[in-house]
Structure 1
Amino acid sequence: MGFWELLITPLGYDFMVHALITTVVASIVCALLSCWLIMAGWSLMGDAVSHAVLPGVVLAYIGGFPYVIGALIFGLGAVVLIGVVRQRTRVREDAAIGIVFTTLFAIGMVLISVTPSQTDLNHILFGSVLGLSRGDVIQVGVVALLAAAWMIFKRRDLTLYVFDPGHAQAIGLRPGRMRWTLLIALALTVVVAIQAVGVIMVVAMLITPGAAAFCLTRRFGLMLVLAPVIAAGCALIGLYGSYYLDLSPGGSVVVCQGAAFAVAALVGGLRRHAARSRLAADPVAVAR
């Protein structure tokens, strides 16, 4: 079987076309956000929101209303709860995040366990990208477009807030408002990615592409390009690999992203070593 045939054959099935569109779109949106999360040190917050939406998604499926609504309510509600716990108790933010997201995630697990057995909700945990309908793909596309447009529209403010909150406040940006801007983008992005990889592995898509891009460059503008390219490539390789090797689609995508990070870290390390070697060999020339 030739390369072209290997590439085209899966596209003869609607479920693979829907899976490819959804996963690539979700990967790109997650990768964009991951750049800001990495630079802001919000990896744990991404983990918290991605797990805290589980009760909302379960209730949405049980109640028969769009999962977007339930996920957004619980995602933003989790952020509010984290703030309340942090302000009203003596615990630090990392502890507050851990308490809130584990509790909400456990509530979601309990809801799944008491749901009638004929309703299979495991796809919420592990993703169901091969079972998406055309309507699901459209829904994901709309939410992804909103999330991407929101981030692109606010990219300068978000970047300034992430790198220099003091200067951002000095020029009139409100840190609290910018924090909520980033959190709203996070909640929307989590909603998009859940369909592709499920609640459990969303955090990988929110962190790994940005971390891989950060290993390759220190220019933030270039990070915003590299991260989506890496994520989209991993989505395609992971899904094609899952089709031909009969593997978990979401798991394959995340494994590819982990491999991409390992390669990026290795390349970045080699480049830094080469730069140090050049500096040691001829510091005057390097300085010029």
Structure 2
Amino acid sequence: MDLLNYAFFQNALIGSLLTVIVCGIVGTYIVARRLVFISGGITHASFGGLGLGFYLHVNPIFMALIFAVLSAFGVEWMSKKQGVREDSAIAGFWALGMALGVIFIFRTPGYAPNLSAFLFGNILTISHTDLYWIAGLVVLLSAMFILFFKEIVYVAFDGDFAITQGLPVKLIEYVMMLFISVTIVISIRLVGIMLLMSLLTLPQMTVNIFTSDFKKIILGSIGIGFLGCVAGLVTSYFLDVPSGACIILVLVVIFLVVKGISSSRKRKMK
């Protein structure tokens, strides 16, 4: 409990809560639309932006956001307009982003001091400015889902049916890809590029064991995600290891325990 007296740990807790809210909302859409591979591609493509940011001595997060958005829209454009298979387009942007990131970082004079935090996560370094940006995203994303929840669910589960209902499917898809990109970049501080895809899927997979209701999965994944963040932060603080790895490890353990309990109950019912 003494940890709560430290400002950096208070910021980490607030940042974790805000981050898992956006990841819970966006992650549920990703899982429902089977976009997990796309989220992985966007995450790793943003590494090119980080490298360019270090090379140009500008904010790496801002450059990562530009790369992430361009990669997301590029995948949608190539797969829908150019006849390129979606998985091939994702793999292309994934590889391009990582390659550019390595080249830019290698060409940057000196040492990139914050690179490990972006790769593996360290939310203990989060600032008040970061919290304001994440809070703004929470407000925007929550407002969009409240106002257009039915339309988003239709597009997530059955785009063809949404078209027959006269919904602007393309617009919704591009707007959601934008939100996915922003969520990914903002969440990099929490678990890092290497592990971010797990934060967008593991809580949802855990809740999905018990329910397929879109709203319940969102709420449940937020709760499980925050639990994993708190336990992971405490563990990382005492073990002096990257917080992102500990958070994901806790989420994996939670999933395995819940899955084991569920399977045991099903066997007993038979």
Per the TM superposition, whether the score is higher than 0.5 is yes
Q: Percent identity?
A: 23
In the TM superposition, what whole-angstrom CA distance separates every residue of 1:45-84 from its partner, at most 9, and x where no partner exists? 1111111112223334554555553233211211233245
Q: Which stretch has the larger CA shift, 85-94 or 177-186?
A: 85-94
Q: 1:32 aligns with which of 11, 25, 36?
A: 25
Larger radius of gyration: 1
Q: 2:48 aligns with which of 45, 55, 76?
A: 55
Instruction: Indicate yes or no: 2:93 matched with 1:100.
Output: yes
Instruction: Indicate yes or no: 2:210 matched with 1:220.
Output: no
CA distance in 2, matches of 1:137, 1:17: 11
Q: 1:245: which partner in 2?
A: 239
Q: 2:257 aligns with which of 251, 258, 263?
A: 263
CA distance in 2, matches of 1:156, 1:273: 36
Amino acid at match of 1:72: L
Q: Name the TM-score, length of structure 2 as normaliser.
A: 0.89
Secondary structure of 1:216's match?
A: coil
Q: 2:65: which partner in 1?
A: 72
In the TM superposition, what whole-angstrom CA distance separates every residue of 1:129-150 from its partner, at most 9, and x where no partner exists? 2222322332333334333433
Amino acid at match of 2:159: P
The answer as to whether partners of 2:55 and 2:105 remain within 8 angstroms in 1 is: no
Residue 272 of structure 1, CA deviation: 4.0
Q: 2:10: which partner in 1?
A: 17
Residue 225 of structure 1, CA deviation: 1.4
Residue 220 of structure 1, CA deviation: 2.3
Amino acid at match of 2:46: V
Residue 173 of structure 1, CA deviation: 0.7
Q: 2:125: which partner in 1?
A: 131
Instruction: Indicate yes or no: 2:199 matched with 1:208.
Output: no
Q: Name the TM-score, length of structure 1 as normaliser.
A: 0.84
Instruction: Indicate yes or no: 2:146 matched with 1:147.
Output: no
Residue 169 of structure 1, CA deviation: 1.1
The answer as to whether partners of 2:233 and 2:247 remain within 8 angstroms in 1 is: yes
Q: 2:166 aligns with which of 161, 166, 172?
A: 172
The answer as to whether partners of 1:32 and 1:210 remain within 8 angstroms in 2 is: no
Q: Tell me the matched-pair count.
A: 269
Residue 271 of structure 1, CA deviation: 4.3
Amino acid at match of 1:78: S
Q: Which runs of 5+ in 2 are unaligned?
A: none
Instruction: Indicate yes or no: 2:185 matched with 1:188.
Output: no
The answer as to whether partners of 2:203 and 2:224 remain within 8 angstroms in 1 is: yes
The answer as to whether partners of 2:53 and 2:63 remain within 8 angstroms in 1 is: yes
Instruction: Indicate the RMSD between aligned Cα atoms, in angstroms.
Output: 2.3
In the TM superposition, what whole-angstrom CA distance separates every residue of 1:156-199 from its partner, at most 9, and x where no partner exists? 21111112222211221122112112211201211221111121
In the TM superposition, what whole-angstrom CA distance separates every residue of 1:184-236 from its partner, at most 9, and x where no partner exists? 12012112211111211111111111111111212222112111110011111
Cα pair distance change 1:118/1:103, threshold 3 Å: closer
CA distance in 2, matches of 1:153, 1:114: 46
CA distance in 2, matches of 1:117, 1:148: 41
In the TM superposition, what whole-angstrom CA distance separates every residue of 1:227-255 from its partner, at most 9, and x where no partner exists? 11100111111111112233321111111
CA distance in 2, matches of 1:43, 1:262: 20
In the TM superposition, what whole-angstrom CA distance separates every residue of 1:84-124 from its partner, at most 9, and x where no partner exists? 54467665211221121121122112222222224322322
